Structure formats: structure tokens, C-alpha cells
């Protein structure tokens, strides 16, 4: 088995994890949550989204959250932006790392940002040109890279072409996303093997949801294909408001625990992650999908 010595985790809980929560989580609690994550050893955090509050009400305090967190200079704080207006808002908040999303599925993209895939790509092209002019970090996320809740299985050729187009624009990172958690390890390995063969300058990362309970297996498949950067969410929080049936992200503590058990370094403290789970659990009615926090709870009773 070919395994890397070290893996990087991108914590997406504060944005992707919380965006689907029905009850508004107080801004101060979001700030405290992000500050706690910053003490776990994680070096990259997706903090919020500068999206219109009409569509994602949970993120209506994006400016306040970004202004309120304690920004450790050793940590990259990322904000998701859906369009040019969101980019301008984020720029005004001194955001320096941007996450852009476009769906490989035409129908998903229409639901997500009310634009077809090609139109959305053209908008992102303009944002990338502006952001690179400001020496910003660009994370390019290809949603529904495996399955779409509306169209079914996605043609891998579309994903590969989108990777090549993003690479040509000089983005810093390209995330291949299983937005609805429907991918299987064989499918994951095959797509990532082809993506890695493109030999991009951009770092390739993987983003898995756990709807069908295959997220950790998919992490292993991506590892075997050469991926060493993964998105994860504390507690397994998450879900997409524009992807019916999507469950939470793969739980950060589960991924880190698994990697550590296999001798792979992450630089992350699992105990500190579990404290973050407990901290945010009080503000959500969602059942956490992670496993390690349940095991640890049983061991202390």
C-alpha cells in the first residue's frame, strides 16, 4: 500500500458545515468556534461565505465573522464567494484567500448560483483575474464532480476539462468535490488518478460528504491516487442547501484519527478537535455523523 508521510486538512466546518443549519447560530459563537479550530493544529480554515443572505441566511454575518476572528498569521482563513459582488464584499473585509465554486453538473449549477456552467465559469474567470492581480490565493472547487442530485452520474470528461481550464487560469488549488456523498472508492480512485496525471501546478484536494457512509473509504481511495489534501468538517457537520439529500462532510476528527492510526502525520490534535465538536454541538439540532466523538463519549461514561 502506497501512503504519504503527511496529509493536510482543510477545515470547512464554519462555512460548509454550518451553512445548512436552520437556526441562526449567533455570530459570537461562530467566532469562538473558528478561534477554537485555530488552536487544533489546523492551518487552513474555510470561515464563511459572502453569499446573498436571502439564499443562505446562516451566512448573513460574513463580514462580522471575518472581522471578529483572531487571525493567527500561521493560518489561512478562506472565504467562499459565489459571484463578483461577493468578491467585492469579501475584498472589503480584507479576505486574502478565496474559494470559488462551479458545478460540473449544469442543473446543479443552475440551482446553486442561477447560472449555467459555462456562464458561471466565465464569471469566475473574471474574478480570478482580479484576485490574481491582488496576489490573492484562489481555491477552485468543482462541485458535483461524481454525482448530481438532479442528473445522476457526472461524465468524468467534464471534470477533467474543468481541471485543465482552472489550471490554465493559474489557480492555486483545485478541489474535486463529491457534493452529495454518492461516490464510491473505485470511482474516486479512477477520477483522481486521471486528475493527478494532468500534473497541475495547482494543488489537488478532495472533498467528500458521507451520505452513503463511504467518505472514509473514499479518502483512502484518493490517498492511493496520490492526493494529500482533504476537506473535512468538525463533527461531520454539513450538507448543501442546493443538493437535496446531501448529508454532512466527512468528520475531521475521524479523518485525522484514521490517518494517525496509519502513521500519517497531520499536525492536528484530535483531543482539541473533540473539544470543538462539543463546543458547536450546543448550537445545532443536527445529529453529528462523526464516529470518534461518540466513541470517546462512551469511554468516559
Q: Tell me, what's the pLDDT at 296? A: 67
Q: b or e along 123-147 (b: 16 or more beta carbons within 10 Å of the residue's beta carbon)?
A: bbeebbeebeeeebbbbbbbbbbbb
What span, in angstroms and rounded, lies between the C-alpha atoms of 296 and 291? Answer: 9
pLDDT of residue 20: 84
Phi, psi of 178 (to 5 degrees): -95, 80
Record the cell numbers describing residue 101, joined without a space: 465554486
pLDDT at residue 231, rounded to an integer: 98
Please check whether residue 163 is in contact with residue 195, taking contact to mean a CB–CB distance below 8 angstroms. Answer: yes
Residue 240 bears catalytic tag: yes
Q: What is the DSSP letter of 146?
A: S
Task: Give bridge partners of residue 143 from the DSSP assignment.
Answer: 103
Q: Which residues of 46-80 are buried (b: 16+ CB within 10 A; e: fewer)?
A: bbbbbbeeeebebbbbbbebbebbebeeebbbbbb
Residue from 182, 205, 180, 201 nearest 46 by CA = 205
Which CATH topology does 8-299 take?
TIM Barrel (3.20.20)
**How far is residue 205's CA from residue 176's CA, in Å, rounded to a whole number?**
6
Domain residues of the chain, as ranges? Answer: 8-299
Q: How far is CA 102 from the centre of its chain?
A: 13
User: What is the predicted pLDDT for the residue at 114?
Assistant: 83
Dump strand ranges (E) for 85-195. 97-103, 137-143, 147-148, 152-153, 173-178
Question: 216 with 255: CB under 8 angstroms?
Answer: yes
Residue 300: its pLDDT value, please? 57
Could you tell me the sign of the dihedral formed by the alpha carbons of 259, 261, 263, 268, in that order? positive
Residue among 141, 148, 177, 240 flagged as catalytic: 240
pLDDT along the chain (301 residues), means of 10: 94 94 94 98 98 92 98 98 94 96 92 87 94 94 94 96 96 96 97 98 97 96 98 89 72 97 98 95 82 71 49
Q: Rounded to whole angstroms, how far apart are CA atoms 216 and 194?
A: 20
Amino acid at each position: 500500500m502506497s501512503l504519504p508521510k503527511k496529509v493536510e486538512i482543510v477545515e470547512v466546518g464554519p462555512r460548509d458545515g454550518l451553512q445548512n443549519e436552520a437556526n441562526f447560530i449567533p455570530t459570537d459563537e461562530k467566532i469562538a468556534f473558528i478561534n477554537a479550530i485555530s488552536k487544533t493544529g489546523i492551518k487552513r480554515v474555510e470561515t464563511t461565505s459572502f453569499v446573498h443572505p436571502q439564499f443562505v441566511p446562516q451566512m448573513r454575518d460574513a463580514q462580522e465573522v471575518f472581522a471578529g476572528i483572531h487571525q493567527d498569521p500561521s493560518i489561512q482563513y478562506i472565504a467562499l464567494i459565489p459571484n463578483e459582488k461577493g468578491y467585492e464584499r469579501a475584498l472589503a473585509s480584507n479576505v486574502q484567500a478565496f474559494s470559488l465554486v462551479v458545478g460540473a453538473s449544469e442543473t446543479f449549477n443552475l440551482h446553486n448560483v442561477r447560472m449555467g456552467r459555462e456562464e458561471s465559469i466565465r464569471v469566475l474567470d473574471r474574478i480570478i483575474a482580479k484576485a490574481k492581480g491582488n496576489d490573492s490565493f484562489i481555491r477552485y472547487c468543482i462541485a458535483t464532480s461524481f454525482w448530481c442530485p438532479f442528473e445522476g452520474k457526472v461524465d468524468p470528461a467534464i471534470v477533467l476539462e474543468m481541471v485543465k481550464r482552472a489550471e490554465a487560469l493559474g489557480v492555486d488549488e483545485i478541489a474535486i468535490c463529491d457534493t452529495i456523498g454518492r461516490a464510491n472508492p473505485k470511482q474516486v480512485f479512477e477520477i483522481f488518478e486521471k486528475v493527478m496525471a494532468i500534473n497541475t501546478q495547482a494543488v489537488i484536494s478532495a472533498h467528500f460528504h458521507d451520505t452513503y457512509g463511504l467518505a472514509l473509504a473514499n479518502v483512502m481511495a484518493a490517498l492511493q491516487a496520490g492526493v494529500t489534501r482533504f476537506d473535512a468538517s468538525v463533527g461531520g457537520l454539513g450538507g448543501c442547501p442546493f443538493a437535496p439529500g446531501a448529508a454532512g462532510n466527512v468528520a475531521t476528527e475521524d479523518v485525522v484519527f484514521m490517518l494517525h492510526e496509519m502513521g500519517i502525520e497531520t499536525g492536528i490534535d484530535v483531543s482539541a478537535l473533540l473539544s470543538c465538536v462539543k463546543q458547536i454541538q450546543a448550537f445545532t439540532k443536527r445529529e453529528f455523523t462523526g464516529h470518534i466523538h461518540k466513541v470517546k463519549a462512551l469511554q468516559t461514561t
